[in-house]
A = this chain, B = another copy of it.
Amino acid sequence: MTQEKPARRSQADRRAETRAKLIDAARELFVETGFADTATPDIVHKAGVTRGALYHHFKDKTDLFRALAEEEAKAIADHIDRATHDIADPELAMQTGSDAFFEAMLVPGRVRLLMEEAPAVLGHTSAVALTRANGSAELREGLTRALPDASQARIDALTNLLSAAFDRAALEIAYGGDPSAYKAAMHQLVGQVLGIEADLPVAEPALGPAQHRLD
């Protein structure tokens, strides 16, 4: 039998490891049970640490949730960026970004965390700030180009409303709604606002069961 060797790790490594263990465990439980009905003893048990570690790394339970939500939001933003960063044509970039958004939203639990729990746990303002970046820049740009006479407030409002529609589409897809119907409807909405002629019969090629673990 080999002797236990704690294998001297750096502080940064220790820190990153237990932080990750805590966030991973919290993610599983928050997704499964929701934030309010998940107890910190359960989180630390699953993470294999103690509550002391949790309260050392995070101010409180809400702070742990915030860290998790920020990771999720960043993963979405990165996924969209990687998909669109080298596309020149704005119209194609918008369509590609839209697809990338829906792809990113397929990872299990993400919708639950960001769209159901986050608004109540962090408040609406913080919650939308998390996903503010997600393609809304491209959206706003497209709107500004398409509606040159519209006021800034009008552009902001349209951007916000379309973002809400995007979110709802992802939510419904996650709850078993027809993905192609929602994506097509979303495409129609954006297209009409941007003044692009509608291509109504966009029957999608039925991309099979949702692929998960995107990043």
Which A residues fall within an 8 A CB radius of B?
A: 34-36, 115-117, 119-121, 123-125, 149-151, 153-154, 156-158, 160-165, 167-169, 171-172, 175, 177-178, 181-182, 184-186, 188-189, 192-193, 200
The answer to whether B164 and A185 touch across the interface, beta carbons within 8 angstroms, is no
Rounded to whole angstroms, the CA-CA distance of A58 and B165 in the bound complex is 35
B117/A120 in contact, CB under 8 A: yes
Tell me whether A171 and B121 are in contact (CB under 8 A).
no
Q: Can you show 24 pairs from A to B with CB atoms below 8 A apart?
A: A36-B36, A36-B120, A116-B119, A116-B120, A116-B124, A153-B178, A153-B181, A154-B185, A157-B169, A157-B181, A158-B185, A160-B168, A160-B177, A160-B182, A161-B165, A161-B169, A161-B182, A161-B186, A164-B165, A164-B167, A164-B168, A165-B165, A189-B189, A192-B192
Alpha-carbon separation in the docked complex, A189 to B124 (Å):
23
CA distance A189 to B158 in the complex (A): 8
Q: Is the CB of A120 within 8 A of B165?
A: no
Given contacts A116-B123, A157-B169, A157-B182, 10 further A-B contacts (CB under 8 A): A120-B120, A120-B121, A125-B175, A153-B178, A153-B181, A154-B181, A157-B185, A160-B177, A161-B185, A192-B192
A2 CB to closest chain B CB (Å) equals 47
Chain B CB within 10 Å — which of A125, A149, A157, A175 has the most?
A: A157
Q: Which residues of the partner chain B approach A168 to less than 8 Å between Cβ atoms?
A: 160-161, 163-164
Closest to A195 in B: B192
Q: Which residue of B lies closest to A182 (CB)?
A: B157
